[in-house]
Amino acid sequence: MPVPVVTIAQMRQWEEATWATGRTQQQVIGLVGSRVAREAMTLTRRDDAILILAGKGHNGDDARAAASCLSERYAEVLNVQDPESSLSAVSATLARKPALIIDGLFGIGLSRPLDAAWQAIISAINESGIRVLSVDVPSGLNADTGEALGKAVNADVTLTLAAPKPGLLLTKAEKHVGRLIVEPDIGLVQCPIQSDQLWVLPDDFYGYPPRRPVGAHKGHFGHLVIIAGSLGYHGAGVLAARAAQRAQPGLISIYTVPPAYVPVASQLQAVMVHPWMVGQRFPDRTTAVLAGPGLAASDLPSDVKNAVVTLWRESEMPMIVDASALDWLSHGQVRKDAIRVITPHPGEAARLLGASVDSVQSDRPAALRELSRRYGECWVVLKGRHTLIGRHEGPILINSSGNSHLAQGGSGDVLAGYAAGLLAQPALQREVQRTLAYAVWQHGAAADLLTATRRNWVIEDLLDQIGNIALRNFASN
């Protein structure tokens, strides 16, 4: 099950419900320590030195509990009770350049601005250049609001416990949070909190997509039509088509403007490539349409735009609109019985809403819901750090995979193509949100795997990996 986003007050309520069953804080702390140690070992190598900075609260207890679980590492625990007297010891230890700092100074209970002495400790951590793993929340950060309480640790990774907290997801907190990993299993009882924002875990996709029937043929898995590519932007259409192939729909046809036909057709084999014609008709058994990748040429025929808009308003087929084609859509209703999806990045979302990028990023769930309302109550995949998947009402799923190496040209085309390839399959149209969330997760998980093995990977490498990520490799995250 996806994990709900919980506030500090709700987290306390959850803990109290746990203590009421007889489970003790020490039992939970021991389990948390093992989880922190496990993450610390993925960030370090054998014989590396790890500095544990532990405060006097339970956050410090969690960090201290990790020390005994750090096998084949040199762990040094520095208990920081009084910041003024501890600063010199912290500075001296940082000067020895350990491979990792485990930050356990303050947890979610911190509610007051830090004084100058504590800020000096945090400045020393931030200026050291050493990688930081923060336990539950970067010390000094308000987990509800995402505000630094005077100053906050700039973590490389934050391992938050049980469930994500709202402040950790905010754009203004990202420099402090770094990569956010949720550890759902810390020994608490089943979560009693309901939320409309849910953090997606790899476990949520076990058994999905369902196994293919042994006697199936390509007609069972749909026919995707892609309207993409123009002069100077033909690569986007090729990327989208090749990504759609990785989802394995039965058939794929791509329609591109005549000046782009040769470069598109020369790079595709199994995909059927057609030059766009006025009054273009599509195969009778088309099961989904993707429009937008690479449709950016200034001399694009108006017939292409008109066809996309008409399909969006009237077609009974599922349709994904991405990239340049997003700007062609107008407000208003579409067919109630048809699946509609838009996949904007924050800049595109801002244009669609007539707002600034900052306003979109300051409240991404609200931006998603407003986009859905304006564009026919469609599904929205709002891309960015922790891509969101949802509609004007109902749960919003928050993606847990991916990293900043996805910030390359063509990344969005790969996602759009892969998602469309899945959505073209009739069996996967029954759970639209889950299908879209799976596409987003696979896209991010492929990037995570590539980044773990090589730093100079390119989008063509992403094409080779997407759809092939084994869930068991990510079960702990």
Phi-psi region of 394 (alpha: psi -120 to 50; beta: other; left: phi over 0): left
Instruction: Please tell me the distance from the alpha carbon of residue 338 to that of residue 81, in angstroms, as a whole number.
Output: 60
Side chain identity at residue 472, one-letter code: R
**Residue 212 placed within a domain:** no
Do 139 and 99 lie in one domain? The reply is: yes
Q: Which residues of 351-385 are buried (b: 16+ CB within 10 A; e: fewer)?
A: ebeeeeeeebbeebbebbbbbbebbbebbbbbbbb
Q: 25: how many CB neighbours lie within 10 A of its CB?
A: 13
Same domain, 270 and 343: yes
CATH number, domain containing residue 227? 3.40.1190.20
Q: List per-residue pLDDT tens for the chain, 477 residues long.
A: 789 999 999 999 999 999 999 999 999 999 999 999 999 999 999 999 999 999 999 999 999 999 999 999 999 999 999 999 999 999 999 999 999 999 999 999 999 999 999 999 999 999 999 999 999 999 999 999 999 999 999 999 999 999 999 999 999 999 999 999 999 999 999 999 999 999 999 999 999 999 999 999 999 999 999 999 999 999 999 999 999 999 999 999 999 999 999 999 999 999 999 999 998 999 999 999 999 999 999 889 999 999 999 999 999 999 999 999 999 999 888 888 899 999 999 999 999 999 999 999 999 999 999 999 999 999 999 999 999 999 999 999 999 999 999 999 999 999 999 999 999 999 999 999 999 999 999 999 999 999 999 989 999 999 999 999 986 555 444
Question: Structure pTM?
Answer: 0.95
262-268 own/partner pairs: CB under 8 Å, 24+ apart: 263/234, 263/238, 264/229, 264/234, 264/237, 264/238, 267/238, 268/238, 268/241, 268/242
224 and 373 both lie in a single domain: yes
The CATH number given to whatever domain includes residue 91 is 3.40.50.10260
Does 163 share its domain with 279?
A: no
Whole domain around residue 169: which residue ranges? 3-191
Domain tally, the chain: 2
Per the structure block, which two tokens stand in for 417? 């193509």
Residue where a domain terminates, one of 156, 191, 226: 191
Torsion of CA 270, 275, 276, 280, to 10 degrees: -70
The answer to whether residues 246 and 315 belong to one domain is: yes
Residues 239, 380, single domain; the answer is yes
Residues 34 and 77 in one domain: yes
Helix, strand, coil shares, percent, the chain, to 5: 45, 15, 40
Q: Is residue 232 part of a domain?
A: yes
- Same domain? For 314 and 244 the reply is yes
Give the β-pairing of 197-199 and 3-4: antiparallel
